[in-house]
Chains A and B, each alone.
Chain A
Amino acid sequence: MVVSADFTEAQIWAWLEEVPDPEIPVISVVDLGVIRDVAVDQNGVTVTITPTYSGCPAMAVIALDIKTVLAMHGIKQMTVKTQIAPPWTTDWLSKKGRARLEDYGIAPPQAAGGPVRCPHCKSTQVEKVSQFGSTPCKAQWRCTTCLEPFDYFKCI
C-alpha cells in the first residue's frame, strides 16, 4: 500500500515534541535526546530511538506513546526502531530541556559530575545523598542552604 505523503519529516518531529517523557513530563522525548531519526517513505513512518539506560522501563512506554501520537495524527503504518549505538549521552538533552528540568526542580547534568546549584533556591552549597534516585537517570542531592532535597540528572 502506498501512503499518501501528506505529512513531512519536519511535521513528525513537531508531533514528537508533544510526546512527554513518561517519568519527567515537563520535557519531551525530543528534548530528552532519544529520537535518532525520523524517516518517511512509501512503507510509512520509521522513528529510531536510542535507550537512555539499557534497563529503563520508560523506554517501552516511550515507544508506545510515540505510536499513539502518530496514530492520532492519522498515520497508519509506523515502526519504532531501537538503536543502541552510539550510546545515548546527556549531551543530547536540548537546551530547552535542560532549562525545563531546572524549573521542575531537577538539576540538569554537568560534565563536572554534580549539580552546579540547587534548583530551588539557586545556592551553590549542595551535597550528594545517593548516587541513584527515583529513576535510573537521576541521583539524589541536597541543598545545605535551603535544606531541600532534589534530584540531579546524572551526566553520562
Chain B
Amino acid sequence: MNHLFEFLLRQGDNVLVLGHRTSEWCGVAPALEEDIALANTALDLIGQTQLWLGYAAEVEGAGRSANDLAYQRDVYDFRNLLMLEVPNDDFGRTLMRQFLFDAFQVPWLTALLQSDDQQVADIAAKSLKEALYHLDRSSETVIMLGDGTEHSNARMQAALNYLFPYAGEMFADDATDIAMDDSGVAPLPSAMRAAWTQTVEKVLGEACLTLPDTAFAHSGGRTGFRHTEHLGHMLATMQTLQRSYPGATW
C-alpha cells in the first residue's frame, strides 16, 4: 500500500465530503448571511480539496488528476471520516459538525506545518488560515445556539448526541498513520485528542451543552472499510455529471 497516497486521500476526502455537504445549504440556509457564510466555508473546503487531491494524484503517479479522484471514485474508495458524510439534518447539526471538525483541524494542520514533506507543510499552512477562521465562526455559532433559547439548546444537544459517537474516529491510529509518523510526514492523529478535548469542553461549556458520556466510536470511513449508507447518495448527486458523461469538460 502507498501510505502517503492513502494519507493524502484522507486529508482531501475529508474536506471534499464536508465541502459538498456544506454546499448543500446554498440557497436554502435559514438567513441570507448564513447562506453566504456556508457557501464561503464550502468554497474554502473545496479549494483545500484541490490542493490535497492534486498532490495525492501526483504521488499516485497513475495519470489521474484531482478531478478524477473527486468524481470518478466510488464509495469504498473514499477515505473521509464518517462524521463528515452523514446528512446535514438541521442548521444546528451542520454547525456542530463543523465545530467538532474545526476543533480537530486547527491542532492537526498546526502540527503538519512541521511535516518533513514540504508539500504537506505548504498545503497545511494555506489551509490553517482558513480553518482558524472557520473555528472562530463555528464556536461562536455553537455557543449562540446552545446558550440561546430552550428550544435551540435542545436542538444543539440533540445534534451533539448524534455526532459525538462519530468523533472518536478522528483519533483512531492505524498502519497508515504509523507509517506517516515514522517517516516524519504527520504525527499520530491520537496525539490531537488532548487539544481537541480542551477546545470542545471549553466551547460546549460556554454553550450550556453536556458531552455525552460514551466512549463508543463508529469507524470505517477513513480506512474505507465501511461507509454509512449516506455517502453513496451524496456521491450520486455530486458525481452525476461525470457518471453520465465520463470525461466531460467545458
Taking beta carbons and an 8 Å cutoff, which residues of A are in contact with B?
51, 53-57, 84-87, 129-134, 136, 140, 154, 156
| A55 and B129 contacting across the interface, CB-CB below 8 Å | no
Known: A54-B48, A56-B47. Is A130-B37 also a contact (CB below 8 A)? yes
Task: Name the distance in Å between B195's Cβ and chain A's nearest Cβ.
Answer: 22
Chain A residue with Cβ nearest B46: A55
Query: Are A84 and B122 interface neighbours, CB within 8 A?
Result: yes
Chain B residues contacting A87 (CB-CB under 8 Å) are 125-126, 129
Contact partner of A131 (CB less than 8 A), chosen from B37, B44, B126, is B37
Binding site for A on B (CB under 8 A): 33-34, 36-37, 40-41, 43-48, 50-51, 121-123, 125-127, 129-130, 133, 136-137, 140
Query: From A87, which residue of chain B is reached at the shortest CB distance?
Result: B126
Partner of A85, one of B45, B50, B122: B122
With a cutoff of 8 Å between Cβ atoms, the chain A residues found around residue B48 in the complex are: 54-55
Are B133 and A54 interface neighbours, CB within 8 A?
A: no
B137, A54: Cβ atoms closer than 8 Å: no
Q: Which of A84, A130, A136, A156 contacts B43 (CB 8 A)?
A: A136
How far does the alpha carbon of A154 sit from the alpha carbon of B137 in the complex, in Å? 13
With the chains together, A56 CA to B129 CA distance in Å? 14
Establish whether residues A84 and B126, one from each chain, have CB atoms under 8 Å apart when the complex forms.
Answer: yes
Determine whether the beta carbon of A140 is less than 8 Å from that of B33: yes
Contact (Cβ within 8 A) B136 A131: yes
How far apart are the CA atoms of A85 and B33 in the complex, in Å? 31
Q: Which 8 A-B pairs have the closest CB atoms?
A: A55-B47, A54-B47, A85-B122, A130-B33, A132-B37, A55-B43, A132-B40, A87-B126
In angstroms, how far is the closest chain B Cβ from the Cβ of A105? 18
Complex Cα gap A130–B35 (Å): 11
Q: How far is the CA of A10 from the CA of B71 in the complex (A)?
A: 43
Selected from B37, B50, B136, B137, the residue in CB contact (under 8 A) with A55 is B50
Do B36 and A53 have beta carbons less than 8 Å apart? no
Given contacts A131-B136, A131-B137, contact A54 B127 (CB under 8 A): yes
Chain B residue at smallest Cβ distance from A154: B133
What residues on B are CB-neighbors of A53 within 8 Å? Answer: 43-44, 47, 130
Whether A86 and B33, one on each chain, are in contact in the complex, defined by CB atoms closer than 8 angstroms, is no
Given contacts A133-B36, A136-B40, A154-B133, contact A84 B46 (CB under 8 A): no
Within 8 Å CB of A136, what residues of B? 40, 43-44
Additional 8 contacts, C-beta under 8 A, given A53-B44, A129-B33: A54-B50, A55-B44, A55-B46, A55-B50, A86-B125, A133-B36, A134-B36, A156-B133
Note all chain A residues with C-beta closer than 8 A to B40.
Answer: 132-133, 136
Contact yes or no, B33 A54, CB < 8 A: no
Q: How many Å lie between the Cα of A129 and that of B33 in the bound state?
A: 8
How many Å lie between the Cα of A87 and that of B37 in the bound state? 22
With A and B bound together, what is the CA distance between A133 and B44 in angstroms? 13
Q: How far is the CB of B39 from chain A (nearest CB, A)?
A: 8
Contacts of B136 in A (CB 8 A): 131
Contact, CB under 8 Å: B122 / A54: no
